[in-house]
C-alpha cells in the first residue's frame, strides 16, 4: 500500500504556490495543484512529475462545487489528503470609497470564502489528521494606502486560522498561517513594471528590509513545509511572519 503523503496547493501554477508545490514534491509528497489557470497548472505539474506524482486541477476556489471537487479528486487519485495550503488569492486596489461593491465582494470571495470552502472539504477528508497552512500577508498587521479589501481579507485569514486550530485540534488537524512580505514573484514583477521608476522603487523596497533583500518563493515554501511537517507537531493557531524583518523595522 502506498503510504506517500499528499498535499493540495491552491494557486500553485506560479509564484509562491509553485514554490510550495516544488518543496513538497522534493520531499516525496504527492502534489495536487489547483489553479484557475489550467494551462499554467498543467505546466507546473508536468515540471514536478520527475520528483513525485503530481496532478493539475482547474477550478475557482470561491465556487463551492470546484472546492469540493478538487478535494475529492485529490483523495481519489492519491488515496488521502494530509496537507492543504490555501495560497490562492487576488488583490483588488482601492479605498473603501473607491471600491465598487462587486470589487469588494470578489476580493472577499476569493481570499476568504475560498480558504473557508477549501478547508471545509479538506477537514472532512483528513481522516488521519493533517495540517492546513493559510497564506496570509504582512497586510494583516500593517497597511499601505488603497488596500482596504486586501487588508481585510488577509486579517480575516488570521482569525480563520485561530478558529480552525481551536475547533479541529482534537481531530488531529493543525492550522497555521504564514504572513509574507515582499516576495519576488511574477505578480510583483508586473506591479513594478507599472510604476514610473522601477529600479528606484525596487531599491527603496530592498533598503526597507534589514535582511538586505526581498523574499523568494522558496523562503515561503520552506516555512510552509516546516509548519506542515512533524517537526511542528505542537504548533497550531500561530502566524509566522516571513518578511526579512521589514515590519519590525517600521515599514
Catalytically active residues, by annotation: 150
- Torsions phi, psi for 134 (to 5 deg): -95, 130
DSSP secondary-structure letter at 36? S
**32: helix, coil or strand?**
strand
Report how far apart, in Å, the C-alpha atoms of 30 and of each of 9, 45, 102, 160, 208 are.
Answer: 11, 11, 37, 26, 38
* 178 dihedral zone (left: phi>0; alpha: psi -120 to 50; beta): beta
DSSP secondary-structure letter at 244? T
> H or E element: which one contains 33?
strand 30-35
- Torsions phi, psi for 130 (to 5 deg): 175, -165
Query: How far is the C-alpha of 102 from the C-alpha of 92, rounded, in Å?
Result: 11
| C-alpha angle 129-238-182 in degrees, rounded to nearest 5 | 115
Report how far apart, in Å, the C-alpha atoms of 77 and of each of 5, 56, 82, 124 are.
Answer: 12, 11, 13, 17
Amino acid at each position: 500500500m502506498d503510504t506517500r503523503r499528499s498535499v493540495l496547493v491552491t494557486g500553485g501554477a506560479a509564484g509562491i504556490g509553485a514554490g510550495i508545490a516544488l518543496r513538497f514534491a522534493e520531499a516525496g509528497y504527492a502534489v495536487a495543484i489547483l489553479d484557475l489557470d489550467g494551462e499554467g497548472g498543467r505546466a507546473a505539474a508536468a515540471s514536478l512529475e520527475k520528483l513525485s506524482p503530481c496532478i493539475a486541477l482547474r477550478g475557482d476556489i470561491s465556487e463551492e462545487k470546484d472546492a469540493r471537487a478538487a478535494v475529492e479528486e485529490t483523495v481519489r487519485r492519491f488515496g488521502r489528503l494530509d496537507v492543504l495550503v490555501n495560497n490562492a488569492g487576488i488583490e483588488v486596489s482601492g479605498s473603501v470609497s473607491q471600491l465598487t461593491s462587486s470589487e469588494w465582494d470578489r476580493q472577499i470571495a476569493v481570499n476568504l470564502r475560498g480558504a473557508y470552502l477549501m478547508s471545509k472539504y479538506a477537514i472532512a477528508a483528513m481522516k488521519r489528521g493533517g495540517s492546513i497552512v493559510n497564506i496570509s500577508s504582512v497586510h494583516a498587521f500593517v497597511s499601505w494606502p488603497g488596500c482596504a479589501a486586501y487588508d481585510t481579507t488577509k486579517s480575516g485569514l488570521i482569525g480563520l486560522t485561530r478558529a480552525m486550530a481551536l475547533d479541529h485540534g482534537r481531530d488531529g488537524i493543525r492550522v497555521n498561517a504564514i504572513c509574507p512580505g515582499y516576495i519576488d514573484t511574477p505578480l510583483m514583477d508586473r506591479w513594478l513594471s507599472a510604476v514610473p521608476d522601477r529600479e528606484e522603487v525596487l531599491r527603496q523596497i530592498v533598503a526597507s528590509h534589514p535582511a538586505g533583500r526581498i523574499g523568494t518563493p522558496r523562503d515561503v515554501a520552506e516555512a510552509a513545509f516546516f509548519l506542515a511537517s512533524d517537526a511542528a507537531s505542537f504548533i497550531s493557531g500561530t502566524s509566522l511572519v516571513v518578511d526579512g524583518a521589514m515590519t519590525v523595522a517600521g515599514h
